Amino acid sequence: MLGAPSNTSIHVNLLSPDQSGQVWISYGKEPGQYSAQTAVQSLRAGQPLDLLIGSLAPDTRYYYRTNFQRLGNTTALADAEYSFQTARPAGSSFSFAVQGDSHPERLKSQFDPDLYTRTLLTVAADRPDFYVMLGDDFSVDTLDPATINAGAVTERYTLQRPFLGLLGRQAPIYLVNGNHEQAAAYLLNGTPDNVAVWAQNARNAHYAQPAPDDFYSGNSTPVPFIGLLRNYYAWQWGDALFVVIDPYWHSPVAVDNVFGGVTKRDNMWDLTHGDAQYRWLKATLEGSKARYKFVFAHHVMGTGRGGTELARLWEWGGENSKGVSEFAAQRPTWNEPLHALMARTKVSIFFQGHDHIWVRQQLDGVTYQTVSEPADPNYSLFNSDAFLSGDKFPNSGYTRVSVTPTGVKVEYVRTFLPKDEGPGRVHGGTAC
């Protein structure tokens, strides 16, 4: 599983559920010609291992293969060859792809493993530079609160590995925190034994995510028993700035559903991205001279239904539910609400999931792009009534974004099981 690429490095996260041995990566700039390799390291069954490949050339495609010598064997075996791309400079053309809520715990109602496999293989055939997942991919809140433990939470993350490996071996995976992950501050209890700590540690162990360095900016505040959260971060690739944000780790109350209960917050102003994240987001957007700016989150305010319909509310827009502006009183240290900040700094697209539908809207020059589920076998049009405007399409599929110096093209690519294909249902066809 590739992750956190930069102009000179990339992480390779390896996991074997049942084998231990020695492992290393061979790589080079030409197919089949490996001029370098990582140091040989020990891989233990059931334990993820992160290998850093450094000293790479910018704007270069590298070809690599994994070598594994099983414990007790004298012969090493080599995996198939895959490739990855280091960061592209300004003026380059490239593509990336985005998926919404995969919800593998909702078998058959919103998730079919064969459809998910077909979707991810179709994405892989596009050869995107990377893949952004908008949350609710590792839902832990269906686990029993009376018996939940670190192992059960980790299983939610290992469950995705066989699927995401179909794509992640050639397209680095970026994760966005969702409400069902329950990686959220309200669950912290001062000990290492709680759902939030288990979830974030499993996430960071199994999927290499960016920490602040020379290439990435982001959350630099460590959390006890976790370290760096790696939950909000930004980077530039070609002519585009990419920004991931997260309310769940910064709100003192549950943003959406409560683990093990149904009681939600009383006051929507209690939900917040926090002062530190706001200052970082403001500085990041204002300081970027990128031609295009893309912001990714699980949802507006991390909860509710709709896109631009919610953009006027609370810290996102400044008004309460009755249309009265309360921003100055509720966020006295903030210059402006989040939507106004995005509009003023010319954010091109805000991407969100959560609503299980594909909708394109625009407000004040910002495109609000809600993306579909990738594996809903019922091809549902969920939450359509929550969107009062825009182009609306049902599940399933993924969103392909092509970036060039002259423009950005967003495509909704539909995916279907073979038995469900027919007139108007073409697997891999572009719906919008």
Specify whether 115 is located in the same domain as 260. Answer: yes
- Bridge partner list, 236: 241
Q: How many structural domains does the chain have?
A: 2
Pair (206, 306) in one structural domain = yes
pLDDT at 264 over 80: no
How much is the average pLDDT of 286-301?
98
Mind giving me the DSSP string for 230-269? --SEEEEETTEEEEE--STTT-SS-SSPPTT-----S-GG
- The helix (run of H) or strand (run of E) holding residue 22 is strand 21-28
Q: Are 217 and 345 part of one and the same domain?
A: yes
Asked if residue 430 is part of any domain, the answer here is no
- Same domain for 109 and 16, yes or no, is no
Whether the CB-CB separation of 357 and 372 falls below 8 Å is answered with yes
Q: Report if residue 395 sits inside a domain.
A: yes
Could you say which of 57, 85, 113 is where a domain stops?
Answer: 85
Query: Residue 420 pairs with which residues in a beta bridge?
Result: none
Please give the share of the chain, as a percent, with pLDDT higher than 90.
98
For residue 100, give Cα distances in angstroms to 69, 141, 155, 398, 399: 37, 18, 20, 8, 9
Decide if pLDDT at 389 tops 80: yes
- Answer yes or no: is pLDDT of 419 > 90: yes
Clarify whether residues 297 and 203 are in a common domain: yes
Q: Is cis: bond before 396, omega within 30 of 0?
A: yes
Residue 286 has pLDDT above 80, yes or no: yes
- Band of residue 265 on the pLDDT scale cut at 50, 70, 90: confident
Between CA 127 and CA 95 the distance in angstroms is 8
pLDDT in tens, 312-348: 999 999 999 999 999 999 999 999 999 999 999 999 9
pLDDT class of 3 with cuts at 50, 70, 90: very high
Residues 247 and 367 grouped into a single domain: yes
Type of residue at 52: L
Give the helix ranges, DSSP H, for 179-226. 195-206
On whether residue 427 sits in a domain, the answer given is: no
Residue 51 forms part of a structural domain: yes
* Token pair listed for 160: 């995705």
The pLDDT of residue 392: 98
262 pLDDT higher than 80:
no
428 occurs within a structural domain = no
- Structural domain including 26 reads 2-85
Q: What is the CATH number of the domain that holds 134?
A: 3.60.21.10
pLDDT band at 26 (very low <50, low <70, confident <90, very high): very high
Same domain membership, residue 214 and residue 190: yes
Phi, then psi, of 88 in degrees rounded to 5: -90, 145
